[in-house]
Amino acid sequence: MKARAFCPAHITGFFKAEIDGKDPNRLGSLGAGFSIQKGVRTTVILSSRNSSDAAKFHIQIKGFKTGDVRVSEYVLNEFLAGNDDYFVDVIHELNVPVGYGLGCSAAVALSLALALNQALKTGFSKTKVGQIAHLAEIRCGTGLGDVLASYHGGFEIRTKSGAPGIGELEKIDPKEKLDVLIICFNPISTKKFLGEKISLVNGLGGKMVQELIESKDMNEFQDKSIKFAKYIKIVTPKMNKVASELRKNGIKCGVALFGETIFSLVPPSEKQKALQILEKYDGLVLSSKIDNSGARLD
């Protein structure tokens, strides 16, 4: 038996962490961001397992590499608890890099959970599957709000924290078609970042969420993202140089949390100009579009 699922990568421009409380399904973040058409495609293949085999699964990663498979292991153990019949081969195809603020661990968790639910015929609702992926992120300390956002797709403002079915969001429909351009310089550890910056993050992040709910303006979102990143002191000289040059050319941009990563949402007419600026810098440049469908079976 075989199943495949896709989950879009997701970028958060600013946020407020909601991490006080005992119910992990209610933990997460308020914030704003968008999902892109690049992400993680996961294939699972089931075969009969010999009772003498110690291992229950094997994880293979293609494309951008990561040595951290904790999120995948968590999801697999949740689905395979009490099930000794199958050995599961997992193939994650990553077309976004890990650790750069692109919500990769959420996309890994959610695409894997959807594929396992289908292959194992577990019969969980999509909401329940999303909650398993959300718990994987919370337990492993790899993210706070990306599962809820990439589950739904599109451009969103997260208005209530938590897993799918508990957390809430408002979708924004941009007034014009937008291309997404991204330049990645260096990864940042989400766990380390949250430990160091949380008190700084929350005051400004909560205020920005309320303001964006009122305006629902793309340009304001990008301006707020840069302001937020500067306020919490994660804009490196290299990022500042890129952002300044884009701004001088009339191009808005923001910062992907958590990574040394600049993004720009541009109308197609501005794409070439923005791309030429980004390609002058020594970073990984990605081009994509907004994904409006969210996580799904493939």
Walking along the chain (298 residues) 10 residues at a time, the average pLDDT comes out as: 97 92 92 98 93 85 92 97 91 96 96 98 97 96 92 97 97 91 88 66 88 94 96 92 98 94 97 97 97 97
Q: What is the pLDDT of residue 202?
A: 80
Q: What does the angle CA 184 – CA 275 – CA 38 come to, to the nearest 5 degrees?
A: 55
pLDDT on residue 53: 74
Q: 257 burial class (0-12, 13-18, 19+ CB within 10 angstroms)? A: buried
- pLDDT for the residue 62: 97
Looking at residue 193, what is its pLDDT?
64
pLDDT of residue 192: 66
Domain span at 121: 1-298
- H or E element at residue 116: helix 104-119
CA distance 281 to 203: 33
Q: What is the pLDDT of residue 67?
A: 82
Q: Which residues pair with 33 in a beta bridge?
A: 12, 156
- Residue 174: predicted pLDDT: 87
Task: Name every residue whose Cβ is closer than 8 Å to that of residue 163 and which is 6 or more positions away in sequence.
Answer: 25, 26, 28, 130, 131, 134, 135, 147, 148
CA count, 13 A, side-chain hemisphere, 15: 30
Residue 205 CB burial class (10 angstroms; 0-12, 13-18, ≥19):
buried
Q: How many domains does the chain have?
A: 1
Strand, coil or helix: 277: helix
Angle among Cα 21, 132, 122 to the nearest 5 degrees reads 145
Among 218, 288, 220, 275, which residue's Cα sits nearest to residue 249? 275
Give the pLDDT confidence score for residue 196 in this predicted structure.
63
* Radius of gyration, alpha carbons of the chain: 19
For the chain, give percent helix, strand, coil, nearest 5.
Answer: 40, 30, 30
Is the bond leading into 258 cis (omega within 30 degrees of zero)?
yes
pLDDT computed for residue 238 by the predictor: 95
pLDDT at 82: 82
Residue 290 DSSP one-character state = B
Look at residue 128 in the predicted model and tell me its pLDDT.
98
Strand duo 28-48 + 155-160: pairing: antiparallel
3-state secondary structure of 53: coil
DSSP string, 180-228: EEEEEEEE--HHHHHHHHHHHHHHHHHHHHHHHHHH--HHHHHHHHHHH
| C-alpha distance from residue 237 to each of 14, 106, 230, 286 (Å) | 20, 29, 11, 21
| 7: CATH | 3.30.230.120
Phi, psi of 21 (to 5 degrees): 140, 160
